[in-house]
Copies of this chain bind each other. A is one copy, B any other.
Amino acid sequence: MRRICICFAYKGTRYSGLQKQPNHDTIQSQVENALEKVTCQKINIYPSGRTDAGVHALKQYAHFDTLSKILTQNFVTALNTYLPPDIRIMSATEVDKDFHARKNVKSKTYLYIVSTSKITNPLLYDYVCEKKHDYDLKKINEIKKLIEGTHNFKAFCASKSSANNFVRTVESIEVEKKCDLILFKITGNGFLYNMVRIIVGTILDIADNKIPIENIAKMFESGDRKFGGRTVCAKGLMLYDVKY
């Protein structure tokens, strides 16, 4: 039995998220179906974490165990033969038996893209959240500093989360303007359900004067979601990198 870790990328637009669900087309079921065709075995993959419907990944990781004799590097071409072009295996590596693609994560980076132009470029539509007005980058940089660091992020988490411990470290929130886009690159040691989308939504709602900047302290103190901004849309989100 070997344990193999694959790195893969996907456009999430037409899938019901990463995780396998009955009667839904998901990234996991596509990869597991391809693995079955390649190895003639039923194989479960264990990804670094879930992504929601419409969310993309440039670098997602998953491990699986197999008895197959296929050369490790040959999994890349073999799986891509059976996968649609919106899911691509980028690499495959044999790892130690105790490697775990979720438990061994040291940090993750997400990219969130906001389009500020009045009319969204149709070529970018699947990859951006449409805000249709510009933002003051200086103000965004002041707000984001209040979120960086180690905090109880319970108020930055969707209510349907099953987490017990809400303390996470957001190592950095880098914000950059490129033409009509604002790019948020958020790195942390772990993320709760919808946490990136609530962080971005809260920053934007404060920048838009919809909620006061003092609400961030209230969110950390109370753990109450009601003080936060909206959850911005899924299609602007992309898992950008995972570090082990």
A contacts, CB < 8 Å to B = 9-11, 56, 58, 76, 80, 85-90, 119-123, 125, 127, 238
Interface pair B90/A125, CB less than 8 Å apart = no
Q: In angstroms, how far is the closest chain B Cβ from the Cβ of A217?
A: 37
Q: In angstroms, how far is the closest chain B Cβ from the Cβ of A62?
A: 16
| Complex CA distance for A125 and B56, rounded to whole angstroms | 13
With A56-B123, A88-B121 already in contact, 4 other A-B pairs whose C-beta atoms are closer than 8 Å: A9-B122, A58-B123, A90-B119, A123-B238
Interface pair A122/B89, CB less than 8 Å apart = no
Q: Report whether over half of chain A's contact residues are helix, strand or loop; otherwise say mixed.
A: mixed
With A11-B125, A125-B11: A120-B85 Cβ-Cβ less than 8 Å? yes
Question: Which of chain B's residues have a CB closer than 8 A to the CB of A56?
Answer: 123
Question: Which of chain B's residues have a CB closer than 8 A to the CB of A76?
Answer: 119
Q: Which of A10, A85, A119 has the most CB of B within 10 A?
A: A119
Q: In angstroms, how far is the closest chain B Cβ from the Cβ of A59?
A: 11
Interface pair A80/B122, CB less than 8 Å apart = no
- A10 CB contact (under 8 Å) in B58, B80, B119, B122: B122
Question: Which of chain B's residues have a CB closer than 8 A to the CB of A120?
Answer: 85, 88
Question: Which of chain B's residues have a CB closer than 8 A to the CB of A122?
Answer: 9-11, 85-88
Q: In angstroms, how far is the closest chain B Cβ from the Cβ of A179?
A: 12
| Complex CA distance for A89 and B86, rounded to whole angstroms | 27
